[in-house]
Amino acid sequence: MTTSPAAASLPLSTVALVTLGCARNEVDSEELAGRLELGGFRLVDDAADADTVVVNTCGFVEAAKKDSVDTLLEAADLKTSGSTQAVVAVGCLAERYGKDLATSLPEADAVLGFDDYPDIADRLRSILDGEQHHPHTPQDRRRLLPISPSARDAGTVVVPGHTIAAPDLPADATPESGPRAVRRRLDGGPMAPLKLASGCDRRCSFCAIPTFRGSFVSRRPSDVLGEARWLGGQGVKELFLVSENSTSYGKDLGDLRLLETLLPELAAVDGIERVRVSYLQPAETRPGLVSAIAGTPGVAPYYDLSFQHASAAVLRRMRRFGDPDSFLALLDQVRQQAPTAGVRSNVIVGFPGETEDDFQTLCDFVEAARMDVVGVFGYSDEDGTEAETYDGKHDEDEIRERTEHLTRLVEELTAQRAAERVGETVEVLVESVEDGEVVGRAALQGPEVDGCTTLVGSDARVGDLVTAVVVDTEGVDLVAREA
């Protein structure tokens, strides 16, 4: 990667990026890394070795916000014990709270919003020079683009992760749409997240993400494919397609079925062995998309379905749609076409007004659904959301009790589901080999949150795609032997 001529004449500073939260944040961090390297910064892995520590924060739920603040405070401690001169907050928490975060967390030297990303190198240099950066005043980013999806132009606003292109483009290359930046991989593993879109047009009453991530904007297929080709050239074997709502991909480009046509093209990219789609909205998951995921060679039969609940009454209060019958029918449709498909979901327990019958409906649905992984979250108020104003809220003890009950049930059910897979043939992407232990993920397992597969008696290397037979399980984790 070549540093820009202007940056080459400036003193070299070191920077470490610490990424919290979801895979979408990982893409954003790699965009920032590319911009910083082009801007004359040297990237280091260890925050203790960096002049500047940039923490890409998560602002989704209370636990994630606390983790972000704790990480910023830990980085600030390095200013007295290490070589660190500045600590900078970026990401969702910084965008969501702006000047309020800066006021409440003086240990951070600056709080930067998404609009600062294109000039991140200049921002960090000014901070290191002692200049005071005035944090932004948060705004509802949905208002930055037209209400009509067809009228949106992502080039008119800063959308993290959308302006990425391969670093071997000549400096005078003309982009097909909007400005371009460089992505610099921070993780050399065989899997890489790839953004399909950003933002969300749904108005779920418990979720604040659209207010700070903005309205839904699809990336153009040519940009997605261009980045996929670069990732394939970097040794990536699995593309993990991420967004806030992948089922909406293409609606602002005039073709709601665009993902179905894009998947075969991504799977055909040189070097790519597997493509995985994340975050599907059940109410928007159309039969054609189910078939494309189930039947396209090279696409993992994997369905990340965000059910959130099963009671129709609770879902209506959540501003969502569905009920046990429609959800189970969707799962039947999936399994008719891909009997061994992996299915995961998240659910919220203790939502305002959730009755004991509602909770039992959720428990019964989880039992009937036979999913591989279910994330269980207790409800908590989120600033500025509709649900924050609802009555019928449960006390913390009741939410904790229901959460623990469903978590125990889920642990039992998902362990049973894993055990049912003994004897199945799986394709395992090897991600680590340590002390002779070969560990990876089968097609039914998404990155980080869905468990792993250990290959016994294998001499496979990182990046290999191994055909194996499941011989044992440990909770949701699988143990397999090469076929």
Which residues are known binding-site members for [4Fe-4S] cluster? Answer: 22, 58, 92, 200, 204, 207
The three-point CA angle 451-454-459 to 5° equals 145
Per-residue DSSP letters for 211-224? HHH-S-EEPPHHHH
Residue 341 sits at φ, ψ, to 5 deg, of: -60, 145
Sheet strands side by side (includes 13-19): 41-43, 13-19, 52-57, 86-91, 110-111
Yes or no: say if 280 and 306 are a contact pair by the CB < 8 Å rule. Answer: yes
Q: Which long-range contacts (CB under 8 A, 24 or more apart) does 397-403 make?
A: 398/350, 399/349, 399/350, 402/349, 402/350, 402/354, 402/359, 402/378, 403/349, 403/350, 403/376, 403/377, 403/378
Binding residue numbers: 22, 58, 92, 200, 204, 207
The CA-atom distances, in angstroms, between 348 and each of 55, 377, 403 are 28, 5, 8
CA distance 457 to 459: 7
CA distance 61 to 371: 24
CA distance 148 to 183: 30
